[in-house]
Amino acid sequence: IDTTKFSLADFMKSEDKNIMELAKEFWEYKEDYVRRRHYQYRRVSITGSGPTMKIIDHYTGEIREMINLASNDYLNLTKHPRTIKAGIEALKKYGTGAGSVPLLGGTLDIHVELEKKIAKFKGCEDALIYTSGYGSNLGTISAILHEKDVAILDMYVHASIIDGCRNTNVEFFRHNNMDSLEKVLKKVKDKYNTKLVIVDGVYSMDGDIAPLDQIVEIAHAYGAFVMVDEAHATGVIGKNGRGTPEHCNVEGKVDIVAGTLSKALGAVGGFIATNKELVNYLHFYSRAYMFSTAPTPQATASLIEALNVIEEEPELRQRLWDNIRYFRENLLKLGFNIGNQQTAIFPIIIGDDYKVKEMCRELHEAGIYVNPVFYPAVPRRLSRIRISLTAGHTKEHLDRTLDVLQHLGKKYGII
């Protein structure tokens, strides 16, 4: 199989084959990856998330300790003694599951406590929680935008936002480009009932930040609402870790703040923070909320404590930012292209898929866990190695990574 010809997106477009034929063909494609030792996906960890992880090597079956640069556990709260203790106590008190959907007996006092805490943290009137960040974007957007409405999306927004727009009209604007946003808003001005501009606060493949102050101003001037996905911003940016609205000085001015509970907050789930009327509307019209069992007691209690930790232990965020600054400075010194990186996510943009695969293979062999990213996750010709840092990485972890990257960057003619 010529792997340069295929991509996941091309497979999905095949129209003349049934699913079993497609799956078989895709299996061969995957096996070819495995043969070349380029298959780095679904690696199995026996320790869970942390600055280092023990991994079962795909190819040798050996257990290897690796520097983990593939986690969104930015503050390492998955293993914080306080979040663990809170989770264990809730597990004992409430049991392993919520037992029902939120409207019909599944709502616990700690769910409401978490929702109130998120609302306050995000400067909104109220909030509701979902069992995933994917579900909160999909479930909210599909509940509020229909045939007579329009979603105006930054072209790099997360897949969960795009998937939420299946039953509405969609317009894209160029990434973080305010002229392009204004052009689209002018075009749609008198055509739709609800106009909703949706952006990510921090972009998951580029690590750059949306200019939310300008977005809010322009959108509101054209009668559009604004929704921001705070998945990679919560706990990371803003003076108090409250995310993009705090970073851009527009707290309380963003109409809908969405996010995940699975990254800096260290557990699992998603949230929507907005006004009390829209929260109430979503309780009854968001199918992903209404028809899905409420989050587990353990995750819920750990998340309440995670928010306390974020407020009470700012030194964690400080350590993360010390790491970000150190790593950025050194990558730039070495001559790598890291695009417009501004946060804990570092794209090492290479643009040659084969070099990305080979470099990732060698990084893994050197005990450094990173992710290769290709089209359609990023534009064609902008394939990259994606690295994310956490507060718990030591200078030794970063220096070791920089050494290996320098060696490989020279070997593959990147720097």
Which residues are known catalytic residues? 204, 232, 263
For ligand PMP, give the closer residue by CB, 67 or 258: 258
Least Å distance between CB 271 and ligand PMP?
Answer: 10
Least Å distance between CB 135 and ligand PMP?
Answer: 7
Q: For residue 234, which amino acid is it? A: T
Of 10-18, 20-28, 147-155, 229-237, the segment contacting ligand PMP by CB under 6 A is 229-237
Least Å distance between CB 262 and ligand PMP?
Answer: 4
Binding-site member from 66, 231, 304, 391 for ligand PMP (CB under 6 A): 231
CA distances 388 to 288, 312, 364, 384, Å, are 29, 24, 15, 13
CA distances 294 to 104, 141, 228, Å, are 10, 19, 23
∠ Cα 269 250 390 (to 5°): 45
Q: Which of residues 182-211 bind ligand PMP (CB under 6 A)?
A: 200, 204
158 makes contact with ligand PMP (CB under 6 A): yes
Binding-site member from 133, 164, 238, 392 for ligand PMP (CB under 6 A): 133
How many Å from the N-terminal Cα to the C-terminal Cα in the chain? 31
Give me the residue whose beta carbon is nearest to ligand PMP: 133
260 makes contact with ligand PMP (CB under 6 A): yes
383 makes contact with ligand PMP (CB under 6 A): no
Least Å distance between CB 58 and ligand PMP?
Answer: 22
Q: Which of residues 270-299 bind ligand PMP (CB under 6 A)?
A: 270
Distance between CA atoms of residues 351 and 36, nearest Å: 19
**Preceding peptide of 314 cis, ω within 30°:** no
For ligand PMP, give the closer residue by CB, 137 or 401: 137
229 makes contact with ligand PMP (CB under 6 A): yes
φ, ψ for residue 226 (rounded to 5)?
Answer: -125, 135
Binding-site member from 49, 68, 140, 160 for ligand PMP (CB under 6 A): 160
Least Å distance between CB 174 and ligand PMP?
Answer: 18
Nearest Cα to Cα of residue 260 among 35, 74, 48:
74
Number of residues in contact with ligand PMP under rule CB under 6 A: 14
For ligand PMP, give the closer residue by CB, 270 or 392: 270
Count of CA atoms in the C-beta half-sphere (13 A) of 27: 6
For ligand PMP, give the closer residue by CB, 134 or 327: 134
Nearest Cα to Cα of residue 293 among 135, 406, 70, 415:
135
Least Å distance between CB 261 and ligand PMP?
Answer: 7
For ligand PMP, give the closer residue by CB, 40 or 72: 72
Burial per residue of 89-114, b for 16 or more beta-carbon CB atoms within 10 angstroms, e otherwise? ebbeebeeebeeebeeebbbebbeeb
For ligand PMP, give the closer residue by CB, 156 or 173: 156
390 makes contact with ligand PMP (CB under 6 A): no
Least Å distance between CB 301 and ligand PMP?
Answer: 18
Of 57-65, 228-236, 311-319, 322-330, the segment contacting ligand PMP by CB under 6 A is 228-236
Q: Is the distance from CB of 131 to CB of 292 less than 8 angstroms?
A: yes
Q: Find how far residue 290's CA is from the centre of its chain.
A: 23
Q: Which residues pair with 369 in a beta bridge?
A: 68
347 makes contact with ligand PMP (CB under 6 A): no
262 makes contact with ligand PMP (CB under 6 A): yes
Nearest Cα to Cα of residue 357 among 40, 86, 103:
40
71 makes contact with ligand PMP (CB under 6 A): no
Residues forming contacts to ligand PMP in the complex (CB under 6 A) are 132-134, 137, 158, 160, 200, 204, 229, 231-232, 260, 262, 270
